[in-house]
Amino acid sequence: MAARNTIECQRGRKQAMSKLVDNLLGKLDQLKRKVMTDTETNNDIPIESSGNAEEKEEIVDSKGNKPTVASRKNVRKQGRPRRKNTKTTTKATSASNQKDTAKKPQKQQKVSMAAKSKKDTKKGEKEPVLKLLINAEEPEECRIALIEDGRVESFHVTTVVHEQTKGNIYKGRVTAIEPNLQVAFVDIGTGKNGFLPFSEIHPEYYTSDKAALKHWKDLNIQDVIKKGQEMLVQVVKEAAGTKGASVTTYLSLPGRFLVVMPGSDSHGISRKLEDEEERAKLRTMMNSLNIPDGIGYIIRTASKDITKTSLNKDLGYLLRLWNETKKRGQAVPSPALIYKDQNIIAKVLRDYYTPGIQEILVDTQESQKQVMDFLKLLPTKQRKTMVRLHQGSRPIFNQYAVEDQIEQIYQPVVKLPSGGSIVINPTEALVAIDVNSGRTAKDKNFNETIFLVNIEAAAELARQLRLRDLGGLIVVDFIDMRNARHIREVEKEVKASMKRDRAKVDISRISKFGLMQISRQKLGRPIEMGSYHVCEYCQGRGVTRSVETQSLSYLRRIQTGVTHKNVIGARCRMPVKVAQYLLNNKREELLEMEKNYGVQIRIEPAPEMTTADHQIEFIRAENGSDK
């Protein structure tokens, strides 16, 4: 009985399971038929564009309806083709073809919209207005300023007293050789000997032919260069203070599109020309030109979109110039000036002119003719600049509000728009720049205010370095920032602002002390050296001693001098204020010294003397006078 009951239970379970499976299969068949019906119904709807289909899909999802399995399968991801379903009808196939054809105009529409948006942004961005002002009305001084939207971005000046010598070629004679420094000093006829490192001496000047085959690091300068030897040298760095000009024997003659380097076999293209197609085009054009052996060249940035004819003209002019320079160097005795670089107008046009300059304004007809002659040498595409002669009653720099900006170049403090300032202090070894916050708004975030001041200082210091032509090591003390993102943004702003500089620049990161180090190449002497002199009162210190301190110092010197033997008197000539202070406030001390030492002290006011001048003369009994 137990076995029979067990068998009947198992049969009942099997029957229940079979009924359950049948019900599930039936429901599955119904679901399949429903899916097929929905698919055919959706495929019958014509598709106008994929954009409308996407909008429909977004509307369905926004209503909260759950998409079916088939609808999810029919959605094409990233334009990839899906496997064809054999159960779909012919209508579904035709509908999918309509989708493919509808996607193509959509892509074209997206590309056209992107291009249109780029054009709109370019139209929206206002191009800066560039003007070049040339003030050559006075024969003693010539000034050139490049202004962008009314703001001075570049300034150049030359005077009769301080003419620029950088780029000049001299025939010099070696006057001294320093083996410890591995340098030679060359007399070039300018009053100060030129500084010539061993690395800047061309092997053709070596006295030994075997030494010319070796690298200069493997040689000693005293073995291959002799005292009294003549050579052609070019100034690469202006003389400053007691130091003479730095010179080199590797000569270079710059033109508008090329820089020719005699005695070199190197060929190069400016790094600012980044387009590889443009670089390959220029390289091909130069290879097709007839360049003599032993002549190297560098293609300048201005050669962009240049023609072969213009390159050939510039090359021919530079080669003729080099032949004339070489002939003159062989004929004249040393020391002598062989080649003088172009005047400041031609030099600035050659190095700084760009087709983006809309207008050049001059105040003399001679300057206007010089500018017009320069523009005639350019290709037709680069002759869009208008040249105009300024004939107003006001000076040209005052007419365009440039004088005040030029005066700011010579000031140590530069104001920032947010209320802060930067203080620029050039020293003998480096240039120190300090960023000051000034007044900070109380209702604003302090960190954001500090960040704003540092950002403004980063852009302004790069501009001031260009205007003042400060080089060497530059240390910038930014205001301390706690946010690492702000520090990175300030570093990016400094690098972006320094890209406009023609000089070679190396920039470090901001240290934990808030200091940034910048190494900048000196393109010439500092701008203030040609217009300013050392103060005769303070001798360049910026401060002078007070009358009291100066009077006491002279009093101690008088007391020290009258204590010596055989001194019978002292004659002192001093500035008026110092003499009055001694006679009025130190009369008792002077009378006591005369009584104790038996001398006569005379103090004479000298109105012609400055505060730093004085003359103290001690009179001796036997030997006359001794200062």
CB 210 within 8 A of CB 272: no
pLDDT of amino acid 623 = 54
Q: Which residues contact 622 (CB under 8 A, 6 or more apart)?
A: 566
Q: Which domain holds residue 381?
A: 130-156+349-399
Q: Which residues contact 37 (CB under 8 A, 6 or more apart)?
A: none
Among 474, 495, 530, which residue terminates a domain?
530
Residues of 549-561 as b/e, b for ≥16 C-beta within 10 angstroms? ebbbebbeebbeb
Q: CA distances (Å), 338 to each of 3, 300, 350, in order? A: 129, 25, 21
Q: Which residues contact 363 (CB under 8 A, 6 or more apart)?
A: 134, 135, 136, 137, 389, 390, 395, 396
pLDDT of amino acid 273 = 85
CB 307 within 8 A of CB 121: no
319 shares a domain with 197:
yes
pLDDT of amino acid 377 = 81
CB 233 within 8 A of CB 186: yes
pLDDT of amino acid 615 = 92
CA distance linking residue 568 with residue 124, whole number of Å = 87
CA geometry: angle 282, 286, 292, nearest 5 deg: 160
CA distance linking residue 290 with residue 225, whole number of Å = 34
CA distance linking residue 557 with residue 627, whole number of Å = 12
Q: Is pTM beyond 0.75 here? A: no
Look-up of token digits 């980044």: 274
Residues in the chain with pLDDT values less than 70: 1-12, 14, 21, 29, 31-126, 160-162, 241, 439-444, 526-530, 622-627
Q: CA distances (Å), 60 to each of 42, 55, 300, 312, in order? A: 14, 9, 62, 69
226 shares a domain with 333:
yes
pLDDT of amino acid 172 = 93
136 shares a domain with 38:
no
Specify if 112 maps to a domain. Answer: no
Specify if 169 maps to a domain. Answer: yes
135 shares a domain with 219:
no
Pairing of strands 169-178, 230-237: antiparallel
Among 530, 559, 593, which residue terminates a domain?
530
At 38-48, the pLDDT tens digits run: 544 444 444 33
149 shares a domain with 240:
no
Specify if 115 maps to a domain. Answer: no
Specify if 535 maps to a domain. Answer: no
Tell which residue, 595, 593, 607, has the closest CA to residue 561: 593
pLDDT of amino acid 80 = 43
pLDDT of amino acid 455 = 93
Among 65, 85, 103, which residue terminates a domain?
103
Tokens of 103: 């996607």
212 shares a domain with 326:
yes
pLDDT of amino acid 418 = 85
336 shares a domain with 219:
yes
pLDDT of amino acid 161 = 66
Specify if 113 maps to a domain. Answer: no
333 shares a domain with 243:
yes
CA distance linking residue 38 with residue 45, whole number of Å = 11
CB 335 within 8 A of CB 228: no
CA distance linking residue 433 with residue 425, whole number of Å = 6
pLDDT of amino acid 60 = 37
Crossing angle of helices 344-352 and 365-376, in 10° steps, is 40
Q: How many residues does the chain have?
A: 627
pLDDT of amino acid 105 = 43
Specify if 13 maps to a domain. Answer: no
| CATH code where residue 574 lies | 3.40.1260.20
pLDDT of amino acid 190 = 84
Say how many Å lie between the first and final Cα of the chain, rounded.
150
Q: Which residues contact 229 (CB under 8 A, 6 or more apart)?
A: 173, 174, 205, 207
Q: CA distances (Å), 225 to each of 7, 193, 229, 427, 575, in order? A: 121, 16, 7, 35, 54
Tell which residue, 469, 468, 470, 472, has the closest CA to residue 409: 468
pLDDT of amino acid 444 = 63
Pairing of strands 141-148, 151-159: antiparallel
Specify if 170 maps to a domain. Answer: yes
Specify if 208 maps to a domain. Answer: yes
Tell which residue, 340, 341, 339, has the closest CA to residue 328: 339
389 shares a domain with 366:
yes
Report the number of distinct structural domains present in the chain: 5
pLDDT of amino acid 532 = 75
pLDDT of amino acid 604 = 92
471 shares a domain with 417:
yes
309 shares a domain with 164:
yes
520 shares a domain with 423:
yes
Long-range contacts of 432-435 (CB under 8 A, 24+ apart): 432/475, 432/477, 433/461, 433/474, 433/475, 433/476, 433/477, 434/477, 435/476, 435/477, 435/478, 435/479
